[in-house]
Structure 1
Amino acid sequence: MMSNPPESDPYGDILIVDDEPNNLRVLSTLVRSCGYQVRQAISGSVALRAVQAQQPDLILLDIMMPEIDGYEVCQQLKLDPKTRDIPIIFLSALVRGVDKAKAFQVGGADYITKPFQVEEILARIKYQLTIRTLQTQLQQKNQELSQQNHQLKTEINIRQQTEAELRHSQAQLQAGKEQLQQVIDNLKRTQAQLVQSEKMSSLGQMAAGVAHEINNPISFIYGNLDYASQYMQALMDVVKLYTKHYPQPHVEILQAIQANELDFVIEDFPKVLASMKEGAERIRDIVLSMRYFSGSDQAYAKPADIHKGLDNTLIILQNRLKAQKNLAAIEVKREYGKIPLVNCYLGQINQVFMNLLSNAIGALEEKQNEGTFKPTIKISTKLSHNSKESQDKNSKWVEIRITDNGTGIPYQLQNRIFDPFFTTKPVGKGTGLGLSISHSIIVEQHRGQLLCRSEPGHGTELLIRLPV
């Protein structure tokens, strides 16, 4: 039995978009029974008109739809300043990691796979509406504070006749600004951590779950390929013996041999099995990389192989490194030094690698239109002593440098790249959380250092130092 949410739960106007009438009816009935106001849209174009007519508090959006799919609907909404803040939860039967990653890249707030659990979808709706309410309250508070600041400045201008009162008012204003900025910074940092923590928890569980589900069938396939090869060889030996002792087969057999190109089959069959084995090995490597990357079995810090974390992250990003339409392949140069195991939370460190490498790839993609440009990422590691930034002269650090020859970062923006929600990307292309969360993981969680050196137009180097 499902109970309605308590009266204290946030009220919400929810738009549900799905081209399957039965899915739309069932989901609308479920959400409406919990006290939410529900509107329906049977296609992407209808959804866009519905949002313009009346903005909802939340959108449940199917991906696979004719004419305009869910990704394009989300992108159009994120490009419009009036609708870009509406949270969007994708609902889809697509379970591939690349599909889910694309959903977050275009601006999705969450992703739920079909068939879904009732409790799960209600909990996620409630969570997104709560975040939406907090954001609205924060904006209202900012407006109120802005009005108060304006009023205070007016009073200061009126009281300029008395120098003492002016100094006192200015001091009060400065103190109020500092306190306000501190409150805003704390709110931003807390919100960033909550959002990123929720997303990474879901992604980590998804990666671990996908790896687990794929592992059994691929092990079955891989284990039986050797038997298939043996059986194939036995059949080939029998065919060769038959050909040797009966060089003139019956006319019907001869016709079947010619129709099925037996000579080609005998030559190509071993190659097919070899390709299948190579593909199965590749899938096994990817499964192991996903399990290692997620760090789902690591509840506490323990010694980890940094090189293995880097390699597995590159495997997951391999699709973005390959040559694509109008984009050259990105060369990755590894210069690994001899370093010890590092005591760390592996899942968090791998997420930092993912954020930094994804940013490097993005910078290279922006620069691809420059003639003979050869996109390159260089990853180097070494053990260093006596870091200049460290007061402990006997300290040892593992250094990881990730360098690209991309667009670089303008000088005037370099001191802000680790601020929460700061991004140089267009609306809908970035959240401004990646570097902020990475800095928090390295500096606060692992007592390390994350430094940036960039030359606009020539590239960027990000240096991670983890204490040994």
Structure 2
Amino acid sequence: MSTDLNYKGEIVIVDDDPANLGLLFEVLKAQQYVVRVANSGRLALTVINSSPPDLILLDVNMPNMNGYELCERIKADPNTSEIPVIFISASNEAIDKVKAFRVGGIDYVAKPFQMEEVLARVESQLKIARLSHQLQMQMLRYQLDPHFLFNALNSVRTLIAVDSETAEEMIMQLADYLRYLLVSRNKLEVSVSEELEAAQNYLAIEQVRFKGKLIVKTNVDSRVENYLIPASLLQPLLENAIKYGMKSNPKPLEITISIELKNDKLCLKISNTGKWMAPRENASNSTGLGVGLENIRQRLRQRYPARHNFTISNDEDSINVLIEIPISEN
């Protein structure tokens, strides 16, 4: 779901009746919605999976695949399961409404419909979906920050007794990072330059902590500075790279942050020396390697359903995490 303030929403209409399809298309288009159409269930799956919309208006009675079957398939796919579906049907029977809700529908409009009612229901469901999306993104983000803060404060506490000057330096870096969290706390997205500065503050804290055992390199295309990315996206990846890279790499750990434009995508890559350590199946939420990565997967799936790439690769002496997302400019 786009965060552009001028963006009202993208809607897919699925109906085998050309008259209904045309009417809904014209009215929604006039209200500044982005609209796509499909006249069958099979075509609808292709349209929806190619670029998931913000909302689906779905007819019930269609040949080959009816609306109930189509809705079940949409809800079974993790990339499309969160899309709200409003059923539009000639039947006003309670049993049909109950079935629509059971397969995952969020609302039901009986034909013949009044366009004012359809528009009101569309606007209401899009608003609910947008608020729900924002809440989920914030919750996923806040799962990470307390974990980092605990680790950082623990390191400062240890340093105070043995090296007060280094502890003071670390506190200053931590203050800069916490300032970023405070300023961006209500933002789901920040510019690449803001996120990179926060990541560098985090790495500076860890460099103080590891004293010469951590080498950081950056390779960032200057053209990407104003593009938007999810807030606090890099830090959990860097935390994993440090925590497990230190365990699997006997030499000083080297981390490289690369950000570039490639094929109309924003590509973010975190590479570190060392060997891949697979997540433990029963790792606890506070220390498991898989927690941070799964959090990132969920956030990307929420923000860019079916429009992103998140891959982890490893060779003999390095691990690479690559994220590719659509370009969004500040």
TM-score, normalising length from structure 1? 0.32
- The structure whose residues are more often helix, as a share, is 1
- The structure whose residues are more often strand, as a share, is 2
Structure showing greater relative contact order (alpha-carbon pairs closer than 8 Å, 6 or more residues apart): 2
Larger Rg over CA atoms: 1
TM-score, normalising length from structure 2? 0.46
